[in-house]
Structure formats: structure tokens, C-alpha cells
Amino acid sequence: MAHSPEQDSTDFIREIIANDLNEGVHETTVTRFPPEPNGYLHIGHAFSICLNFGLAEENKSTGGRCHLRFDDTNPSKEDIEYVESIKSDVQWLGFDWNEHLYFASNYFSFFYDCARHLISEGKAYVDLQDSETIRAQKGSITEPGVDSPYRNTSAEENLALFEKMKQGDFEEGKAVLRAKIDMTADNLNLRDPLIYRVMHSEHHQAGSEWCIYPLYDFAHPLEDAKEGITHSLCSLEFEIRRPLYNWVVENCPVASTPKQYEFARLNLNYTVLSKRKLKELVDDSLVNGWDDPRLMTLSGMRRRGYTPSAVKNYCKNIGVTKFVSLRDMAVLDFELRQDLNKTVDRKMAVLDPLKVVITNLPADHFEELQCVDNPEDENSSTRSVPLTQEIYIERDDFMETPPNKKYKRLAPGKYVRLRGGYIIGYQSHETDTEGNITQINVEYIPDTIGQNPPEGIKCKAAIHWVSATHHVEAEIRLYDRLFNEPEPDKVEGGYRACINPESLKVIKNAKLEYSLKDAPPAYACQFERIGYFISDNQDHTNDTPVFNRTIGLKDSWGK
């Protein structure tokens, strides 16, 4: 039985690769991740990155490798900003292309030579008709196509016309190069597809050297062949174009024979994953840039506090298939909580503060309580948390009239434990002229740190708290899903009609425990009883702390 070397589970792609190695079709496995630098990468791209770079890692023993290749053959939509962001996203996921960084724009002469080769062989021709006419002649699934009047121009004439295209003698849309395949083919992609067009655009890598650019279906197989890619993995939409991919490889002077394999792309609910739509959200200021923590772009997810291992585990666990499905965001969130639960420290933070005065402590009381950083870790370190006479607790951890006997937090006649500290008991509370509670007075019970309450006192819960005099004031950004509907694209009026108005709530003066006073940017922790948070990687400083909510402790959407 074929099996891939260093991966426990298998899938149809890994089986193909293992077979190719076993049967000597290839000596090693070379894959590529080929983004077009026309936007930021999203979670769908992460799936493709994990697959391609993952295969290279699993096949390291035979020299397996994965190329990062910028498929930058369309200068009109591409930008160097995107090149840089894509590189850092791949690195963030923990993958390394080593010396295998390529730009399709470096192959422009090669594409050009291949095109000339096709022309010389009578397998390509320049068509001077307008695009509408060419489209009309293409026919349909029920009707064969009609030959272009340029289809039988001689190779010499075509070479001359192609040269003129290259020299800039044609305006955009006035001349195209077409592969001469079969105008009656059942597969419309084979009805003399366009392979080169005129574009008078400056290229972000190649400058103004070229004014003709190859189309994807022509360039991509050539890029793969040039780099010696063995398995060219793409999403299912490209299945119908595979015959054209093979035609290009067979008919151009290339040294290797890459093969294309298709898998089902990752679709996720409650989000949009198309670069075009993500760009609209950014350009129309519906979000704050490509790295807005509500976007499922990798830079947004990083800023939000997703971890590379959660993303990688998620991609691995859903596996590679040929079946298109809509994946549940809750599964990704589950991976994230699992990872953060194990790895990040606990801190206390009060988001909606209510003052509590411990009346039997002196005004200048200062005591350093020791709190465990991560209870999930047997060997966890501890930190000291200052206890002072005045503290803050969460407003909703006190109720003047609890709804029922099950209520365990602070209320008249009740006791509660301060996390990591003493048990306190209610004495009285104060209100302002409108009846809002402004302060609770309590007494603490000595010798109750880490101890059961004395006889006669019931204490069923521990609440988080922060010193009112020794803490950090912070801005908290409470992020939630950007869309209210699982399939934003299918909503009447489009995804704009279901943007979640609650997807960002900002709290200005939250109180964080003192140990966060020198937290660096992108510092992740759990605010006990609230959720996982991370200091913002753009706006956070120790003078102006800003923390983003990564995710709550429990799924609140799975109803």
C-alpha cells in the first residue's frame, strides 16, 4: 500500500504522490504556492499553503520542496504591497521557501519564446478582430465555434504581427494571440483560447519592458514546467481547464511535464473569502484596512489573535477532498480555543468596572497575592497581583436582588471569593441620585487564601477583580463576526446587507491587572472568565494600551 512518508492521515493527493514515488514517475515532489499579488491572503489561501508546503515537508527526505511563486502576469491589478504581505503571511504560518522564491514576471522572455515557437509550428495565430466578435465565434456547449478569418494566416505573417504586438504597434484590445487548437472541441476552453494580449501597463517588477502579457492558462503551465513542479495543485474550478494546461505543456519546448490536480477549495461560513470582495470591503471603508481583525485575511487573523498552530491544525483536520462544502467557523474557533487554552497566561481584567471597598483593610493596604499563570500547565509559574483596599469588580458580578437561589456571585447577604485571594462578604452599597450603584462595601475574611470558608459561610464562586489604585487603563476592542448570516454572498442585497453592526464595540477605560503594564504588542493572554485577548499589533503601546478580543471562552453562535 502506498503511503506518504511523514503524515499520519492520507488523502487522494497524498496517495497520488506516494504512488508516483513508488513507481518512479518522480524522484521527489515539487509543489508550488502561486498567489497573484492582487490582494492579501485569506484563510482559503492558508489551506493551499498548508497543503503545498506541508507536502514539501513530508517529502523532505527525497528532496521535496515548495516554491513560493508570484503569479504576476497581470500588471493592472497587482502591487508590490501585496507581494510583501504575502511573504510575511507565509512566514507567519511557519513555512520557508528557502531559495525558491520566483516571479512569473521573470519568465516573460520564456513565455514569449514559447509563443513564437507555437506560431512557428502553426499552433498559434494573431487575431485582429475585436473581443466581442471573437467571443461570438466561440459558440456554446450546444453549438460549435466558427473559425476566425485569421486562423489560417501563415506562420511568417503571424510572427511579424506578434512582433508588432510586442513593439507596441497595437492598442489594447486590437490584437490578441490565440492558440490554434479546435473550434469544435466540446470543451470551450480548447476553442482557440487567447494566450497573449496587449496591455500598455507598467509592471511592478518588470517596469515598462513589456506591453504584451500572457494569459493565466498559457503562463501557469509554463511556470510550472520551467520550475520542475511535479504536482500542480489547484482548486476544482480549474478542472475544466486541465486539457488546455496539458496542451500547453505538450506543445511548448519545455523540459518537464507537470501535472495538475484539483481539490475542493475551502469555503467558510459567516465570512467572504474572495480577494475582490475583501478589497471592496477595504476600499469602501466597511472595515479598517486589509488587517482588520474581523476579516479572515491572514493579517487580520494575526491581529485578531489567531495562532499559526490553530490555523494549521484546522487545515490539517478538515483534510483535502474533492467535495465542495461550506465549513463551519465554529470548528476553526474550537481549534483556536484549544491552542490558546494550553499556551497563554491568565490575567485579570475588568471591562465594566464597579468599585468595591474592603472596609476592614487599611487605606494604604498593599499585598502581593500569588496567582497561577496557567492552570493547564502543571509547572506553571506564578505572578503577583496587588491587593489594595479599593478594587474593581465586573458590574454584572453584583446583583441587588438575585433572580434565584442559584445565583452565586456577590449580593446582599452573600460571600464570594476574589480570584487568587480572600473571601469577601457584602456589607452595604451606595447609589447616585439616579439610583445607579456606585460602590459596594465588603469585609474580607482573614486566612481564606487557598482555604475553604470557615464554618457557617457559604462561598460558591470566585470572581475576577483588579486593584483600583494599581492597574493599567486600556482600550478594549470587542470583535465579533463581521456578518450576521452564514452565507453573506447569498443574502438579498449582497453581503453588505448583513454586516453585523455589533462586530466591533470599543470600551475605553477598562482596568487590567498591573502585570500587563509592560506587555509588548501582540501579547496574547486570557482575561479570566471573559475570553482570549491580544494586545493590538498596530496601536498598542505601554502608554496607550489596546487589547483586541480574539474570541470568547465559549461559542456564543452555535444556537
322 binds, among Mg ion, ligand ATP, none (CB under 5 to 8 A by kind): none
Strands 415-418 and 423-431: antiparallel
Tell which positions 481-520 bind ligand ATP, by CB under 6 A.
none
Q: Which residues are bridge partners to 214 per DSSP?
A: 196
At a CB cut-off of 8 Å and minimum separation 6, what does 479 contact? 293, 294, 304, 503, 504, 548, 549, 550
Q: Minimum distance between the CB of residue 40 and Mg ion, rounded to whole angstroms?
A: 13
Q: Does 97 bind ligand ATP (CB under 6 A)?
A: no
- The smaller minimum CB distance to ligand ATP, of residues 78 and 127, is found at 78
Nearest to 263 by CA among 7, 14, 488: 14
Q: Which does 48 bind (CB under 5 to 8 A by kind): Mg ion, ligand ATP, none?
A: ligand ATP
For the bound state, the minimum distance from the C-beta of residue 210 to Mg ion, rounded and expressed in Å, comes to: 20
Distance of CA 107 to the CA centre of its chain: 29
248 near ligand ATP (CB under 6 A): no
Is 101 or 136 the residue whose CB approaches ligand ATP more closely? Answer: 101
Catalytic residue among 265, 279, 355, 419: 265
Binding site residues, Mg ion, CB under 5 A: 36
Of 64 and 420, which CB lies nearer to ligand ATP in the complex structure?
64
Distances (CA, A) of 282 to 63, 119, 289, 304, 369: 41, 43, 5, 17, 46
275 binds ligand ATP (CB under 6 A): yes
Q: Does residue 384 touch ligand ATP according to CB under 6 A?
A: no
Answer for the pair 332, 316: CB distance below 8 angstroms, yes or no.
no
Taking CB under 6 A as the criterion, the residue among 34, 54, 145, 293 binding ligand ATP is 34
Q: Smallest gap, in angstroms, from Cβ of residue 193 to ligand ATP?
A: 18
How far apart are CB 373 and ligand ATP at their closest, in Å?
A: 37
Q: From the CB of 393, what's the least distance to Mg ion, in Å?
A: 52
Q: Kindly state the number of chain residues that form the binding site for ligand ATP, as judged by CB under 6 A.
A: 15
Please classify residue 355 by burial: count the beta carbons closer than 10 Å to its beta carbon, then call 0-12 exposed, 13-18 middle and 19+ buried: middle
- Using alpha carbons, select from 352, 353, 395, 348 the residue that is nearest to residue 369: 348
Instruction: Report phi then psi at 69, rounded to 5.
Output: -125, 125
Report the alpha-carbon distance of residue 480 to residue 502 in Å, rounded.
Answer: 7
DSSP H or E stretch at residue 413: none
Does the footprint of ligand ATP cover residue 314 (CB under 6 A)? Answer: no
Q: Which lies closer to ligand ATP via its Cβ, residue 34 or residue 386?
A: 34
State the CB neighbour count (10 A cutoff) for residue 213: 21
Helix (H) or strand (E) holding 70: strand 65-70
Give per-residue burial for 446-475: e unless 16+ CB within 10 Å, then b. eebbeeeeeeeeebeebbbbbbbebbbebb
Choosing from 180, 275, 302, 414, the catalytic residue is 275
Active site residue 275: yes
**Judged by CB under 6 A, which of 47, 245, 495, 547 binds ligand ATP?**
47
Residue of 10, 106, 235, 384 that binds ligand ATP (CB under 6 A): 235
Which one among 13, 18, 212, 234 touches ligand ATP, defined by CB under 6 A?
234
For residue 152, the SS3 value is: coil
275 binds, among ligand ATP, Mg ion, none (CB under 5 to 8 A by kind): ligand ATP
Residues 167, 175: contact at Cβ < 8 Å? no
Q: How far apart are alpha carbons 428 and 410 in whole angstroms?
A: 11
Binding residue for ligand ATP, selected from 45, 303, 347, 383, defined by CB under 6 A: 45
CA distance 317 to 331: 10
Interatomic CA distance for residues 309 and 271, integer angstroms: 21
By CB under 6 A, tell whether 74 contacts ligand ATP: no
Of 46 and 190, nearer to ligand ATP (C-beta) is 46
**345: contact with ligand ATP by CB under 6 A:** no
Cα torsion 440, 442, 448, 454: sign: negative
Q: Which stretch binds ligand ATP (CB under 6 A): 59-67, 204-212, 266-274, 374-382?
A: 266-274
User: Among the candidate windows 268-276, 301-309, 420-428, 516-524, which touches ligand ATP by CB under 6 A?
Assistant: 268-276
Cα separation, 293 vs 312, in Å, equals 19
Does 274 bind ligand ATP (CB under 6 A)? Our answer is: yes
Q: What are the Cα distances from residue 104, in Å, to 35, 67, 107, 481?
A: 10, 12, 5, 36
Shortest approach of ligand ATP to residue 154 CB, angstroms?
37
Reading the block at residue 49, the C-alpha cell is 499553503
Residue with smaller CB distance to Mg ion, 41 or 466: 41
Taking CB under 6 A as the rule, does residue 204 contact ligand ATP?
Answer: no
293 binds, among ligand ATP, Mg ion, none (CB under 5 to 8 A by kind): none
* Chosen residue from 273, 336, 354, 463 binding ligand ATP by CB under 6 A: 273
How near is the Cβ of 365 to ligand ATP at its closest, in Å?
57
Is 380 a binder of ligand ATP (CB under 6 A)? no
Q: What is the CA radius of gyration of the chain?
A: 31
Residue appearing with cell numbers 486562423: 151
DSSP at 330: H
- The yes-or-no answer on residue 163 being catalytic is no
CB of 30 to ligand ATP, least distance (A): 15
Determine which one of 36, 57, 280, 485 is catalytic.
36
How does DSSP assign 220-238, residue by residue? HHHHHHHTT-SEEEEEGGG
Spatial separation of the C-alpha atoms in residues 557 and 551, rounded to whole Å:
12
Residue 394 sits at the vertex; the CA angle it makes with 393 and 398, to the nearest 5 degrees, is: 90
What is the smallest separation between the CB atom of 216 and Mg ion, expressed in angstroms? 8
Active site residue 151: no
Q: Closest residue to Mg ion, Cβ-based?
A: 36
Distance CA 333, CA 280 (A): 25
Q: Specify the residue, 47 or 415, whose C-beta has the smaller distance to ligand ATP.
A: 47
Q: How far is the CB of 275 from ligand ATP (least distance, A)?
A: 3
Residues with a catalytic annotation lie at 36, 265, 275
Q: Residues in the site for ligand ATP, rule: CB under 6 A?
A: 34-36, 44-45, 47-48, 234-235, 265-266, 273-276
